[in-house]
Amino acid sequence: EIVMTQSPATLSVSPGERATLSCRASQSFGSTLAWYQQKAGQGPRLLIHGTSTRATGTPARFSGSGSGTEFTLTISSLQSEDFAVYYCQQYDNWPWTFGQGTKVEIK
């Protein structure tokens, strides 16, 4: 099983600032990594798939990068609607696994 570890657990950012979220895998795999956003009381929303491809409707301020075991989600200029919990997920190997999440909160 591939273990996904996200850091930091909580990120305090001011609106308009840049946020960088990290996701590390316990073993290397291809580009089969996704990022999801989840707000309180809602299901996850796909933001990024294939490490760097924005899903339909994902604003351009969200970008994904990385390879091997290190992946990053960058939000270039945080908007009020971006404060949420973010999860990475690998879909390269079964069982699919998620990171434990990074909460992006208002500083």
* Contacts to another protein by CB under 8 A: 30, 32, 34, 36, 38, 41-46, 49-50, 55, 87, 89, 91-92, 94-101
**At closest approach, how far in Å is the CB of 101 from another protein?**
5
Nearer to another protein, 19 or 36 (CB): 36
Task: CB nearer to another protein: give 37 or 75.
Answer: 37
Which residues of 1-107 form beta strands (DSSP E)? 4-7, 10-13, 19-29, 33-38, 45-49, 53-54, 62-75, 85-90, 97-98, 102-106
Instruction: Report, in Å, the least distance between residue 80 CB and another protein.
Output: 22
CB of 78 to another protein, least distance (A): 22
Q: Map residue 82 onto helix, strand or coil.
A: helix
